[in-house]
Amino acid sequence: MSKVWFITGTSSGFGRQFVQQLLQAGDKVVATARKLESIQDFKELAPDRVHLSALDVTNKAQIQSAVQEAVDVFGKIDIVVNNAGYGLFGMMEEYTDEQIRKQFDVNVFGVLDVIRATLPVFKRQGSGHYVNFSSFFGTWSMPPYSIYAASKFAVEGFSEAFAQEFASFGIKTTIVEPSVYATEFFGESMQHTEKKQEYAPLYEAYEKGMSNIKTGDPAKAVELIISVIKSDNSPLRLAVGSQAAYTIREAYTKRLEEVNTWFERSTEAD
């Protein structure tokens, strides 16, 4: 039986792959983007199974309108994919107030507003599934992604809590943690600070490290995510890509080792 998917940020990257693969599989999709002209081609794939909505996740009125359109057109929403977001690149001292607030407006408050707008639909249905895009940077951090990582840590935090809050209503939650993929994340969607010369050594170390990273195929990543979400055993967290799996495991292992090292001293503070 086909499902109705509501997906944010479908003009490129993971979002575009979701729409293409789901329509090919026979599902129904509400594809959203800030500019409708960037997703008009979806209508050619399956005109009766895709609905296009203009949606900037920082615009609450547009969110409410898109959700209502989804219900009006398809009668329900089965799965919400909170994919819209972007990266912010720079050292902590270099960020402007505006850059920091915008990062959280899109990556954090935008996700929360979509969830709050669709939650009444899920509760009425007694079912639903939130797929919230985090990142492997949602489990650890490094220069120059401190603020981006902070936004993804926030997504991890509220998703873990409301997964328990919503479970009694038949609503599932999955946090997706991709590694580095060939999307617009490192292209036009990335925003940069004005670099300070004193951080040149850190930037050089970053560039050297990135030169050794294998970039993943977005189509394969989305294929995995869809198959897991459609299964009967979807996890709370899903690392996507070998780099994500290895990096997240290493980060958790180091954290546990540190907790154990200081365990006795920590317990003395009671």
Name the residues annotated as catalytic.
134, 148, 152
Residues 7 and 83 sit within 8 Å (Cβ to Cβ): yes
Q: Within 10 A of 229 (CB to CB), how many other CB atoms are there?
A: 19
Spatial neighbors of 252 by CB under 8 A, at least 6 apart, are 139
C-alpha dihedral (252, 258, 261, 264), degrees to nearest 10: -90
Residues 223 and 231 sit within 8 Å (Cβ to Cβ): no
Residues 33 and 40 sit within 8 Å (Cβ to Cβ): no
DSSP three-state, residue 128: strand
